[in-house]
Amino acid sequence: MKRFKKTLDKVLSDVCVGLLAFMTLITIYQITMRYVFNSPSTISEDILSYSFVWVSLLGTALVFGQKDHMRLSFFSDKVKGRGQIALSIFSELLILTIAISVFLVGGKAVMGVGALQISPTLYISMDWIYIILPISGILILIYSLINIIQSIQEFNESGKGEWQ
């Protein structure tokens, strides 16, 4: 499980780094075209906007996977043992519920609408842009399940108690 998570982390972080490098190059191109050649590019503006959304959502999945998201530690610092593991699992189940309802179900609905739209500058169907919603939802779902399994394993390995 740890090896799979580590591989997923690596692939996802490499994709985010690649997207950020791509966005940097597109930004340099856009600035050069606008200020040096006095011929602004509308295509690069759309590519940057879509890339920003993609890198944000993929980065969100990565952050949830690494448990680096913002959280209030007020409750988790107060409970120990089984209460802490229960709170951790509850938190992951809440994230899982949001990922399913917003990213998967909502993303599928948005993709349905996007299939009827064409990007005015790129001339592609907008569902190719909106597909990142269910993709990031699936990634967050996978990470939440991994986090739940790892929390239970760490609790059992720490000798604090068994679930039996």
Residue 163: inside a domain = no
pTM equals: 0.85
Residue 70: inside a domain = yes
Residue 106: inside a domain = yes
Please provide the distance, in angstroms rounded to a whole number, between the alpha carbons at the two ends of the chain: 22
Contacts of 92 (CB under 8 A, 6+ apart): 144, 147, 148, 151
Contact 55, 23 (CB under 8 A): yes
Residue 105 is part of which domain span?
A: 2-157
**pLDDT tens per residue across all 164 residues of the chain:** 789 999 999 999 999 999 999 999 999 999 999 999 998 888 999 999 999 999 999 999 999 888 776 666 666 677 777 777 888 888 889 989 999 999 999 999 999 988 889 998 899 999 999 999 999 999 999 999 999 998 888 878 776 555 44
What is the C-alpha to C-alpha distance for residues 87 and 76, in angstroms, rounded to an integer?
7
Total domains present in the chain: 1
